Structure 1
């Protein structure tokens, strides 16, 4: 996880090179790239919060899936923007390559996190079903229900 953060942060540092380029300030297309990179930086901060700066070994897969899904969406938009505006906004080839590698890693992490989240949801669903079955009368519930374990005595004269 720290490996991806270092690469993404390096990519953002390289992004600073073209942020100050004269063409960047002149084009609304270049400003759009700045928005994409800022959003990406915010998403990376969310990833850092999930890992508590690399201190947490356990990460909630559902939260990670959500953040990485947004990161992958942002990465796809970023790659498209970089390809479309490479010359006009003076985007360095090194940044494009680094961004592309980070995007691939984000996709892998998303797959792992969302897969784990799906397994957790399935396990929780099964546990809930078993709990409901257990509350329906134990063995009697498993045998079709209807048995309550009590016997009523008819009232009146025998």
Structure 2
């Protein structure tokens, strides 16, 4: 999709140059608009996941339940990876500042670390729950206490 836009922009510029003999800044606005739309879409997706995580943490002591948060954190890592990939690939084309790219890379790395930790804890919690429920099923029947006078 981006390649098609680039080719269309180059073709427009060539046609304008051929017709008028002077370069016009038609493509600059088109490039900025395309980049802004794509980045806004990716950022909106990322922010949606962050909002869901914030909503989940509003419960007990503002902490996330690792079991519930793990899939959302993985989705955040995925959304940030898409954004990083887009910004890296289109750094020159979209005039992405080095600082912005460094910031989103750092944020993505931190999110990945948090997701790994939460998912590890979630796996441990699930395993403990399974062992606990399996232990309750395999426990010998409790002895009945004698009833009546002693």
For 1:32, which of 15, 38, 57 is the aligned residue? Answer: 38
- Is 2:92 the counterpart of 1:84? no
How far residue 138 of structure 1 moved from its aligned partner, in angstroms, is: 4.7
Helix, strand or coil for the counterpart of 1:56?
A: helix
For 2:113, which of 108, 111, 118 is the aligned residue? Answer: 108
How far residue 74 of structure 1 moved from its aligned partner, in angstroms, is: 1.0
Q: Which runs of 5+ in 1 are unaligned?
A: 1-20, 140-158
The whole-number CA distance in structure 2 between the counterparts of 1:49 and 1:81 is 28
How far residue 79 of structure 1 moved from its aligned partner, in angstroms, is: 1.0
1:30–1:85: 8 Å Cα contact kept in structure 2? no
Q: Which runs of 5+ in 2 are unaligned?
A: 1-27, 144-150
For 2:101, which of 87, 96, 104 is the aligned residue? Answer: 96
The whole-number CA distance in structure 2 between the counterparts of 1:91 and 1:51 is 33
1 or 2 for the larger relative contact order (CA 8 Å, sep ≥6)? 1
Compute the TM-score of the two structures, normalised by the length of structure 2.
0.68
Any runs of at least 4 consecutive aligned residues in structure 1 with deviations exceeding 4 A, and if so which? none
